[in-house]
Amino acid sequence: MTAKLKGTRSRRSQGAGGAPGSEQEAPLSSERIVATAVELLDAHGVDGLKMRQLADRLGAGAMSLYWYVDNKEQVFDLALDSVLVYRGPPQPDGSRDWRGDIVHMLEDWRACMLRHPWSASLLPRRALGPNILGRLELLSKTFSRAGVADADLNVAIWSLWNYVIGATITRASFDVSDDDRAAAQQRLTDLSKHYPTIERSRLLLDNDWDGAFRKGLDFLLDGLVPKH
C-alpha cells in the first residue's frame, strides 16, 4: 500500500501534448518536501505552514505529499531534525579541551536554531530525531571524557539542554519582522512604565543576548564539572 521506500524514479509529465519550453520539475521526494517545508517555515513561521501551499511550491497536488509523509506532524518532525545536523567539534577527537568542545557544540546548536526561529519552540513538543540524539550522545561522551558520570552526568546534560532551549526560545521570541519593530519597541516601553526596576534596567529593550548566553553557560559549566 503506502510504501515509503524511495523507489526507482523516472517519468515526469510536463503538460499536455508535449508543449516545449515548460519548466522541468524535479520529481517529488521526501527530501524535497522537507527542504521546501523548511523554506516555508523560515518565511512564515510554524502557523504559516499549510500543506496546500507546500504542495503548490513543489508543483504538485496537495494530496501527492501524502505518498511520502504520513501527515503534517511528520513534516514538522523531519524539518526540525533536518535543521540540526552537526559537523562535530573543530578538533576531530582526542583533543583534551573538553570544555571548548562543549561550548562549541552548544553555541552551534543555538546558532542552528536561531537561523530557523521556529525550530526552538518546536523541539520540546516533537519527537527526538537522529540529529538531536546524535548531539546528545556526543555531549554525553564529552562529559564522560571530563570525568562526569552517573547521576551527575544526567544533571549536567539536562541543565545545559534546558538552558540552551530556554535561551533560544526566548531570543527567537524577541525577533520581529522589521516592519513592526518600532511598534514592538513602543509596546515594550509602555509596558515597562509601571515596573520601575525593569524600566531602569531596560530589561526588555536592549540586551547583549549572545554575551548573556555565553556568561550563563560558563557559570553553569563552572558548577557542573568537578573542581578540576
Partner DNA sequence: CAACTAATCGTACGCCGTACGAGACGATCA
Partner DNA sequence: TGATCGTCTCGTACGGCGTACGATTAGTTG
Q: Would you call 15 helix, strand, or coil by DSSP?
A: coil
- Decide: is 51 part of the binding site for its own copies (CB under 8 A): no
Q: Which does 140 bind (CB under 5 to 8 A by kind): its own copies, DNA, none?
A: its own copies
17: left (phi over 0), alpha (psi -120 to 50) or beta: left
Find the distance separating the first CA and the last CA of the chain, reported in whole Å: 58
Can you tell me which of 137, 147, 180, 182 binds its own copies, judged by CB under 8 A? Answer: 137
Q: Which residue's CB is nearer to its own copies, number 12 or number 215?
A: 215
Task: Please state the three-class secondary structure of 66-84 as a single string.
Answer: HHCCCCHHHHHHHHHHHCC
Chain length of the chain: 228
Whichever of 23 and 208 has its CB closer to its own copies, that residue is 208
Residue that has been written with the C-alpha cell 522537507 in this structure? 34
Per rule CB under 8 A, is residue 220 in the interface with its own copies? yes
Q: Which of 30, 165, 185, 210 binds its own copies (CB under 8 A)?
A: 165
Contact 13, 45 (CB under 8 A): no
Candidate list 14, 162, 186, 189; residue touching its own copies; CB under 8 A:
162
* Inter-CA distances, 132 with 33, 58, 128, 129, 137, Å: 20, 27, 6, 5, 9
Choose, by CB under 8 A, the member of 87, 222, 226, 228 that binds its own copies: 222
Partner from its own copies, DNA, none contacting 38, C-beta within 5 to 8 A by type? none
Instruction: Kindly state the smallest distance separating residue 116's Cβ from its own copies, in Å.
Output: 15
Tell me how far, at minimum, the Cβ of 25 lies from DNA, in Å: 9
Number of Cβ atoms within 10 Å of the Cβ of 103: 16
Q: Which residues bind its own copies (CB under 8 A)?
A: 121, 124-125, 128, 133-134, 136-137, 140-141, 144, 150-151, 153-155, 157-159, 161-167, 169-170, 172-173, 191, 194-198, 201-204, 207-209, 211-213, 215-216, 218-220, 222-224
